[in-house]
Structure 1
Amino acid sequence: MRILFAGTPQVAVRTLDALHEAGFEIAAVLTRPDAPLGRKRVMTPSPVAARATELGLEVIKSSTIDAAATAQIAELKVTAAAIVAYGGLVPAAALQVPTHGWINLHFSLLPAWRGAAPVQHAIIHGDDITGAATFQLETGLDTGPVYGQVTEVIDENTTAGDLLQRLSDSGSQLLVQTLHALEAGVANPVPQSGNGSYAPKLTDADARLDFSKPATEIRRRAHGTLPAPGPWAMAGEQRYKFGPLREVRERRDLACGELHIEPGKRPVVLIGTATWALEVTALQPPGKKMMNAADWARGALANDLKVNFA
């Protein structure tokens, strides 16, 4: 099967590798153009572009699938296009080019969480189960018939980064299976049913923690925004960033936003909420790097530092 692969971020690299390992003829890789990264704003290829170059594949860089990009794709004469987190819409003209159309690997159990950030919203909204789906791309937003799904459990320790890694592994194999089924003529897509939910891209404001809310709600928001855009809160005029949080249900004696350090060989950092306390496992003070919470607590105790997120 001769295919086009379209993808941009690191989470799509595993799928590119899986397709290459499965022996598909990858005619070219479509990805977003180089972008400035780091403090020096160095123009850097996308993770997918970098990996495609390592594999010796032709790379097409385009911010949109416009008429010129569509013409390039048509010249490739591909059987199917596989797309994972490319970062742009596929217009109707391009959808018609491959023989079997465009097969999208999407990280949710459709019709749940259509849109740019399905994994993050699944965690923030308290889903117990999520997964990945392969489906036929249409002009609607993630509305096409579904070829197959895999599931993953979300527990209290799951972050968006953890879950995306697991889904990129299981989802890449699902896409390989879907393309093999298409090649063999035995694929059986099933129309989506039920009401869909929308998962827009998260902003920095979406990652702000409000410690006047219940602990579970705060923990879900923190984990749903890790590693990006990254949970944060204000202590006066000082902005602190957070790593994963742990609910401590037996501690209900702290006021909302009150930070308390339990001293000891390994100090424990607790913050009060509307229900019970949250243990901070890592945090990034203003102007510093992310550090283990116990290490920060030792310094805070030594310097009698008072912090409050109320």
Structure 2
Amino acid sequence: MRIAVAATPAVAIPTLNALLQSEHELIYVITRPDAPAGRGQTMQSSPVAQWGESNGVKVLKPDSTTSLGEVVMDLDLVITIGYGTLIPLSVLQIPRYGFINLHFSLLPRWRGAAPVQRAIEAGDGVTGVTVFALDAGMDTGPVYACAQIALDPDATSAQLFEVLAELGIAPVLETLELIASGQSPVAQSNEGATRAYKLSKEEGKISWSSSANEIKRKINAFNPSPGAWSSFRGQVIKINRVISSSEKVPAGALLLANKSIYIGTSTQALELIEVTPAGKAAMPATSWANGARITSDDVML
């Protein structure tokens, strides 16, 4: 089967490696055009573009859906993994078998841009991946295959992305076999459907009057981007990692005890493990607290 993969982030790389070793012909990878990145805003290619160049696979960077339509004309199938662009139905219908997508949730739960983050934030007990045929809707197409795992309650979004990227390999390869054998996907139910809206920086602000579990889930969900944050002495501080504790501290108040630093919530306190102060790199929370000379009057807002 003549295949292309349309993807941008590094989570596509495990599937790309598997396809490169498979019996299928990976004609090229399609990715977003280079974009400015970092403090210097220098132009940088996507992780998938870098993978293609390193593995001798042709890399295409169409700058419009019209250009995308032109490059998929001679393909049997396109696999999308976090491509980052809405593809019109007129383009989806061009390849012989259309487009399929590797989505990082158990559809129809968490349709949309941030399924991994929303699953963590909501405290879901299970998660997984779904491979489905793209249609005109938002992650509403018929399903070929899926795989499920228990969701580690301490996992950050970055960690869960890595797990799901590996989990997705088998369902993708299974889907290729199903398509080759002429099997049709199963219509996706709308029962239990939820939307995984994109995370915003503003949404990352922590309300210390929430419960410890709610706050911990938000911090894990927003790690690494856009980050959960609070205000300390008038400056933004990102809270990267916390763990549960049995300490009791008023909401937002800070406590230095047992060589650890705790912050209060509406339930039990959370132990701060890693923070990123304004204008500085990430650091152990105890190092930050010692440098900031935390007092009993200090609070996070």
What's the TM-score once normalised by structure 2's chain length?
Answer: 0.95
CA distance in 2, matches of 1:284, 1:24: 45
How do 1:19-34 and structure 2 match up within 5 A?
19-34=19-34
Instruction: Figure out how many residues of one structure are paired with residues of the other and give that number.
Output: 300
Note if 1:290 corresponds to 2:282: yes
Matched with 2:113 is: 116
Matched with 1:102 is: 99
Matched with 2:17 is: 17
Which has the larger displacement, 133-142 or 93-102? 93-102
Note if 1:192 corresponds to 2:182: no
CA distance in 2, matches of 1:41, 1:23: 40
Matched with 1:262 is: 257
CA distance in 2, matches of 1:251, 1:257: 13
1:79-135 residue CA offsets vs partner (Å, 9 max, x unmatched): 111110000111111111111111100000000000010010111111111110000
CA contact (8 A) 2:123 2:153 kept: no
Measure how far apart 1:305 and its partner are.
Answer: 9.0
Measure how far apart 1:157 and its partner are.
Answer: 0.8
Q: 166, 178, 182: which is aligned to 2:179?
A: 182
| Structure 2 residue identity aligned to 1:150 | A
| Structure 1 residue identity aligned to 2:129 | A
CA contact (8 A) 1:6 1:31 kept: yes
CA contact (8 A) 2:2 2:75 kept: yes
CA distance in 2, matches of 1:29, 1:139: 22
CA contact (8 A) 1:244 1:282 kept: yes
CA contact (8 A) 1:63 1:88 kept: no
1:42-80 residue CA offsets vs partner (Å, 9 max, x unmatched): 101111011011111221112432x23212221xx1111
| Structure 1 residue identity aligned to 2:185 | P
Matched with 1:161 is: 158
CA contact (8 A) 1:134 1:178 kept: yes
Matched with 1:92 is: 89
Measure how far apart 1:192 and its partner are.
Answer: 1.3
| Structure 1 residue identity aligned to 2:252 | G
Note if 1:243 corresponds to 2:240: yes
Which residues of structure 1 form unaligned runs of 5+?
Answer: none
Matched with 1:47 is: 47
Which residues of structure 2 form unaligned runs of 5+?
Answer: none
Q: State the secondary structure of the residue aligned to 2:90.
A: helix
What's the TM-score once normalised by structure 1's chain length?
Answer: 0.92
CA contact (8 A) 1:107 1:131 kept: yes
Measure how far apart 1:188 and its partner are.
Answer: 4.3
1:147-175 residue CA offsets vs partner (Å, 9 max, x unmatched): 11111222331111111110000112221
Measure how far apart 1:178 and its partner are.
Answer: 1.1
CA contact (8 A) 1:64 1:88 kept: no
Cα–Cα, structure 1 residues 58 and 211, in superposed 2: closer, same or farther, change >3 Å? Answer: same
Measure how far apart 1:180 and its partner are.
Answer: 2.3
| Structure 2 residue identity aligned to 1:191 | A
CA distance in 2, matches of 1:63, 1:292: 42
Note if 1:202 corresponds to 2:199: yes
| Structure 2 residue identity aligned to 1:257 | G
CA RMSD of aligned residues (A): 1.7
CA contact (8 A) 2:110 2:193 kept: yes
Q: State the secondary structure of the residue aligned to 1:246.
A: strand
CA distance in 2, matches of 1:304, 1:108: 44
Cα–Cα, structure 1 residues 24 and 305, in superposed 2: closer, same or farther, change >3 Å? Answer: farther
Measure how far apart 1:12 and its partner are.
Answer: 1.6
Which has the larger displacement, 146-155 or 43-52? 146-155
CA distance in 2, matches of 1:31, 1:6: 6
Note if 1:273 corresponds to 2:273: no
CA contact (8 A) 2:242 2:273 kept: yes
Matched with 1:38 is: 38
Matched with 1:56 is: 56
